[in-house]
């Protein structure tokens, strides 16, 4: 069998990469000067790079390799499915076994009456679908003027025109004319960063009630839906105050607007339940899924839709004029199904809840004692720490946001730990299969990196509050 391995020296791979491969969310010229780190193999929570370094992946790739790298059983299912039926579409009154079996499995796992799956190739595509779905729903209901979707600042819902518009990241909006019309954003429930003197619970309520104010301002007859991640992921693993989601739910119920939970990260075990909505008591009409659905072994995403929304659209008397060539791709569906079966058979959600989370929690919380750390948050296996020059004041650094976070990430990289920074927050989301011994390695390397970062900031005079 031909294998794509490290067939060239690192320098040559980097040169080819720089010459021909344009990277997502990257300033390519700057990367070209430095050279990308080239990852060649993965096993469990471990990566190997082209220089043979062993790296512990604190991010499960991009929050997706929940089951860990290098599973032979998933590779075998993919190979079998490619031989059996590599591709067929689901557009013109046809279907196939992998798409059917996976939809039934997702409906079995999803809470309440979330019983219907519309497939996409990614989380961004699924959120584009959601824009179409909720507007179509209200149109069929005879309320075509209900088109506005309310989201949050600093949310991440993908980077297509629709997904990037639903998201609240100004860096994305600044390029390409986003957000598209009729998508509006309220403030995020980020107490540590924006709570000021307010009590955390009061702040959660206040931020949720911005939704009510916004609905009243726009007019309830214009609002189609609210979308939110149960925990903001790419925004910095921002865990909302306990009061936040119940109030959001109350407001959505009161005004009868659709609630979309973007579960692309929080779905499939990440928070210690199958879905983040279960962890926070949210009852969404639609869930966005991707990432952990296939543990990143194949690109697949989708929307899980409740009975009422589904039935309204399905019985409208017209086609739903939307779909992707690879909606329910057989190989991706077969891989995702096998991934979910393994999660069930090997009790991986239980492992998160009963073993990995409690063990990591004990060690993660102690990081809050580090002089550089303002707070340490962890829900399931989704964690963050806020870096600060002054804990008591919950102060930001005087340097540009992200300067310190980037320096910390560089120390992690040097210590063979992948931990990401979002501004000056450091975040983790390791594979759900991580063992206590591996958690020790992760936290030990994180501590070393924090120590080195702190020393560097001190000697460079960067420990100043804004
Ligand atoms: C990653 C992510 C997306 C986008 O998914 P892609 O597969 O990258 O398009 C959407 N929503 C959330 C919450 C995400 O974390």
Give the tens place of pLDDT for each residue, 273-287.
999 999 999 999 999
Residue 96 lies in a domain: yes
pLDDT confidence of residue 7: 74
Kindly give the distance from the C-alpha atom of residue 45 to the centroid of ligand 1, in angstroms, as a whole number: 21
Whether 137 and 222 share a structural domain = yes
Ligand 1, residue 122: give the atom nearest the CA: 7
- Domain assignment present for 4: no
| Cα 197 to middle of ligand 1, angstroms | 33
| Cβ neighbour number for residue 197 with a 10 Å cutoff | 5
| Same domain membership, residue 296 and residue 169 | yes
- Please tell me whether residues 317 and 373 are part of one structural domain: no
Percent of the chain with pLDDT over 90: 98
284: CATH? 3.40.640.10
Pocket test for ligand 1, best of 60, 264, 299, 332 (most atoms within 8 A of CB): 264
The mean per-residue pLDDT over the stretch 384-413 comes to 97
pLDDT at residue 1 greater than cutoff 90: no
Is position 169 within any domain?
yes
Last residue of a domain, one of 345, 370, 394: 345
Provide the whole-model pTM. 0.98
Same domain, residue pair 411 and 311: no
Whose CA is closest to 285, among 314, 252, 315, 255? 252
93: exposed, middle or buried (C-beta count within 10 Å: 0-12, 13-18, 19+)? exposed
Q: Is residue 294 part of a domain?
A: yes
Q: Is the pLDDT of residue 38 over 90?
A: yes
Alpha carbons 91 and 327: distance in angstroms, whole number: 9
Number of domains the chain contains? 2
Quick one: 287 and 379 in the same domain? no
Tell me: do 361 and 448 sit in the same domain. yes
Helices (H), 27-178: 28-34, 60-63, 72-84, 97-109, 123-140, 161-166, 170-173
Domain boundary, last residue among 300, 322, 345: 345
Distance from residue 264's CA to the centre of ligand 1 (Å): 6
Q: Is residue 29 part of a domain?
A: no
Span 118-148, pLDDT tens digits: 999 999 999 999 999 999 999 999 999 999 9
Claim to verify: residue 279 and residue 262 sit in the same structural domain: yes
CA distances (Å), origin 295, targets 39, 66, 239, 338, 384 = 18, 5, 23, 10, 21
**Do 111 and 148 sit in the same domain of this protein?**
yes
Inside any domain, residue 413: yes
Question: Which atom of ligand 1 lies at the shortest distance from residue 160's CA?
Answer: 9
Pocket of ligand 1 (CB under 6 A): 122-124, 127, 156-158, 163, 229, 233-234, 262, 264-265, 290, 301
Q: Which atom belonging to ligand 1 lies closest to the Cα atom of 291? A: 7
Q: Write down the mean pLDDT value for the chain.
A: 97
Within this chain, do residues 319 and 419 fall inside the same structural domain, yes or no? no
Residue 6 confidence (pLDDT) above 90:
no
Do 352 and 341 share a structural domain? no
- Among 345, 361, 383, identify where a domain stops: 345
Given this model, what pLDDT does residue 223 score? 98
What is the C-alpha radius of gyration for the chain, rounded to an integer number of angstroms? 22
Burial class of residue 282 in the structure, from the number of CB atoms within 10 Å of its CB (0-12 exposed, 13-18 middle, 19+ buried): buried
Report the residue among 157, 165, 172, 261 best suited for mutation to probe ligand 1: largest number of ligand atoms under 8 A from its CB: 157
Do residues 191 and 131 share a domain?
A: yes
- Residue nearest atom 10 of ligand 1, based on CA coordinates: 157
Domain span at residue 266 reads: 73-345
């Amino acid at each position: 069998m031909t294998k794509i391995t490290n067939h060239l020296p690192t320098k040559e791979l980097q040169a080819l990469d720089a010459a021909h491969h344009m990277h997502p969310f990257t300033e390519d010229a700057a990367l070209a000067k430095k050279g990308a780190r080239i990852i060649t193999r993965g096993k469990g929570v471990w990566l190997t790079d082209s220089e043979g370094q062993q790296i512990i992946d604190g991010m499960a790739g991009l929050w997706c390799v929940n089951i860990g790298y290098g599973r032979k059983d998933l590779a075998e299912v993919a190979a079998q499915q490619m031989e059996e039926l590599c591709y067929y579409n689901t557009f013109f009154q046809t279907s196939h076994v992998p798409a059917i079996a996976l939809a039934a499995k997702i409906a079995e796992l999803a809470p309440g009456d979330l019983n219907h799956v519309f497939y996409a190739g990614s989380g961004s595509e699924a959120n584009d679908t959601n824009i179409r779905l909720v507007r179509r729903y209200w149109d069929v209901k005879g309320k075509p003027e209900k088109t506005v979707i309310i989201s949050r600042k600093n949310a991440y819902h993908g980077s297509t025109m629709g997904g990037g518009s639903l998201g609240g990241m100004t860096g994305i909006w600044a390029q390409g004319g986003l957000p598209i019309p009729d998508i509006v954003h309220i403030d995020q429930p980020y107490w540590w960063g924006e709570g000021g003197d307010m009590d955390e619970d009061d702040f959660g309520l206040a931020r949720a009630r911005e939704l009510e104010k916004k609905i009243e301002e726009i007019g309830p007859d214009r609002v189609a839906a609210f979308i939110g991640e149960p925990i903001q992921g790419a925004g910095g693993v921002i865990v909302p105050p306990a009061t936040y989601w119940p109030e959001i739910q109350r407001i959505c119920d009161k005004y009868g607007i659709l609630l979309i939970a973007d579960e692309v990260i929080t779905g499939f075990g990440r928070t210690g339940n199958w879905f983040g909505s279960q962890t926070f008591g949210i009852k969404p009409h639609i869930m966005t899924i991707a990432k952990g659905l296939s543990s990143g072994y194949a690109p697949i995403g989708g929307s899980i839709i409740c009975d009422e929304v589904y039935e309204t659209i399905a019985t409208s008397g017209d086609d739903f004029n939307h779909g992707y060539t690879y909606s329910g791709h057989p190989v991706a569906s077969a891989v995702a199904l096998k991934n979910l079966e393994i999660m069930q058979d090997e009790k991986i959600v239980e492992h998160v809840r009963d073993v990995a989370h409690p063990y990591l929690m004990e060690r993660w919380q102690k990081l809050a004692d580090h002089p550089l750390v303002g707070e340490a948050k962890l829900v399931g296996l989704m964690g963050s720490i806020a870096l600060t020059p002054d804990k008591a004041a919950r102060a930001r650094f005087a340097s540009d946001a992200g300067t310190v976070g980037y320096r910390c990430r560089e120390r992690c990289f040097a210590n063979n730990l992948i931990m990401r920074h979002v501004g000056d927050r450091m975040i983790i989301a390791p594979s759900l299969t991580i063992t206590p011994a591996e958690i020790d390695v992760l936290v030990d390397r994180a501590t070393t990196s924090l120590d080195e970062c702190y020393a560097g900031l001190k000697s460079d005079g960067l420990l100043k509050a804004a």
